[in-house]
Amino acid sequence: MTESLIPTPSGDYSAKDFETSTDRARKARQEFYSDDPERQEALTAAYSEIIARTVTLSTIRKSVGLTQQQMAANLGCSQAEVSRLERRGNLHLETLCRFIDAAGGRVRVIAEMPQCPPVEIGFGDLLPGEHSSEPV
């Protein structure tokens, strides 16, 4: 629909706009950072910090001593689906919550805003004591 890097909120969007949105955002970010070495250095430092604090779903599953087969039984799906889930680059929050719940944990989403204390956001599966019974 549009030739701009990021579509404006004023119009209808085609399926192509949504299919290419991640690539267009990545390109815009690269263009923004590529012309300024200080910005690029700050971005690299931020990514390094994120990577240092990041674990994968398979790491979580293994850390609690579960095999993919055991996790599949907990989730009510196949081992192959657990394998695919662990390799996904993007998850729905509900799917993440069910995975963590099946591993014996609980997801907490904390919002940190300037000049406000951090607050935990509770919604859907994140509310204490409520669990989704839908399969993965």
Reported as a single tens digit per residue, the pLDDT across 109-133 is 888 888 889 988 876 645 554 444 4
The total number of structural domains that make up the chain:
2
Question: What digits encode the pLDDT tens for the residues 8-31?
Answer: 666 677 777 777 878 888 888 778
Shared domain for 65 and 124, answered yes or no, is yes
> What are the start-end ranges of the H helices in 54-134?
57-63, 68-75, 79-87, 93-102
Instruction: Specify the amino acid at residue 124.
Output: G
CATH code for the domain of 93: 1.10.260.40
Range of the domain at 69: 55-136
Distance (Å, whole) CA 136 – CA 134? 7
Instruction: Identify whether residues 37 and 73 lie together within a single domain.
Output: no
Exposed, middle or buried: residue 3 (CB in 10 Å: 0-12, 13-18, 19+)? exposed
Both 82 and 132 in a single domain? yes
Q: Do 59 and 75 lie in a common domain?
A: yes
Per-residue confidence band for 2, with pLDDT thresholds at 50, 70 and 90: very low
Q: Are 43 and 49 in contact (CB under 8 A)?
A: no
What is the pTM for the complete model shown?
0.55
The answer to whether residue 1 scores a pLDDT higher than 50 is: no
Q: Where are the alpha helices (DSSP H) in 1-136?
A: 15-19, 21-34, 37-52, 57-63, 68-75, 79-87, 93-102
Place of tokens 């030739």: 3
